[in-house]
Structure formats: structure tokens, C-alpha cells
Amino acid sequence: MAAGKSHILVVEDNPADVFLIRETIEASGIKVPIHIVKDGEEATRFFDNADSDDSAPCPSLVILDINLPKKHGIQILQHLRRSHRCRGASVIVVSTSTAAKDREDVILNGADAYFCKPSKYDDFLKLADLIREWFPKTTK
């Protein structure tokens, strides 16, 4: 495949969280390129682009914030699952919500894991365990 190199796509509008997610990916020990998109439209464009251009990058793992400008995380999730090239990517949703209903909603819409953003640094680093768990083994 032209875009053979696997990578992680981070969909997150808050730079403070982007920084923390970068640190957790680093802490996970997985060394692949990281693409960052900052809103919902940018995210869906990213998948559309991958579908129309085989040389465009296609993520192995998506770390997706749920409250995003322009498009809600659920819509992005649905869009991703319809993309013929990117539909197989693992998805970890990160959100501030502790409500069980929000967790159910994202799992029902095709997310693989749900991570509630904590307010302590060490707790945030636990996201690294999920990244290791869901990053596709074969492409490692």
C-alpha cells in the first residue's frame, strides 16, 4: 500500500489535551506518526481524502474527542465506519462525561473503547494502556 506506514489520528480541539494525548502515546511506547485534526469537519475530510486517494494516509488508531466544533464525535464515528479504507481503524473515544449513557452511545456507534478524561496527570497516563491494547498488533 502506498500509504503503508501506519499512524494515529487524534481528533481533539483543545491544545491542552492534544499535548497530554501526545505524552500518553509516547508513554505507550508506540512510535508511529501522529496526525492531529482540530474539528469535526476536518476529521470527516480526512477520511474522505483517504477514500479518494490511495496515497493519502489512513489511520490504524483514532483517538476521538466527543465534544468538537462543527461536528459531534458520534457523527465522525459514523462517518469513519462508512469509509471503505478507514473503517477498520480502532477508535478510542476520550470525553469529560462520566454519564453511562454517553459511554453506551459511543460504543453502540462503533467505538472500541471509552476513556473519561481525568484531572490528574497520572490518571491521564492510563490512556496509554488503552492505546497499547487497541493499536493494531500486525502493523506494529
Partner 1 sequence: MTAQGLKALIHLRNGADQEGRDILDALPVALYLTDAEGRLTYFNAAAVKLSGRTPQLGVDQWCVTWKIFLADGTPLPHDQCPLAVALKGGEIVEGMECLAERPDGTQFWFTPYPAVLRDEQGRITHGINLLVDITSRKFEQNQAAQAALLLSAIVDSSDDAIISKDLNGTITSWNKSAERLFGYTAEEIIGRPVTLLIPSDRQQEEPRIIARLKAGERVDHFETIRRRKDGSLLDISLTISPVRNARGNIIGASKIARDITERRRAEAEILRANRDLEQFAFSASHDLQEPLRGLKIYSELLARRYSSKLDGQALEFLGHLRAGATRMEVLVSDLLAYTQISKREEPEMVDANATLTIVLESLAGSIAESGARIDSGPLPVVPMHAAHLQQLFQNLIGNAIKYRSPERKPEIHVAAESQSDGWTMAVTDNGIGIAPEYKEKVFGLFKRLHSNEEYSGTGIGLAICQRIVAQYDGRIWVDSEPGQGSAFRFTIPRSRDGGG
Per CB under 8 A, residues contacting partner 1 are 14, 16-17, 20, 67, 96, 117-121, 124
Q: State in angstroms the smallest separation of the CB of 117 from partner 1.
A: 6
Q: State in angstroms the smallest separation of the CB of 62 from partner 1.
A: 21
Q: Which is nearer to partner 1, 14 or 49 (CB)?
A: 14
Where b means 16+ CB within 10 Å and e means fewer, 109-132 reads bebbbbbebeeeeeebeebbebbe
End-to-end CA distance of the chain: 15
Q: State in angstroms the smallest separation of the CB of 90 from partner 1.
A: 25
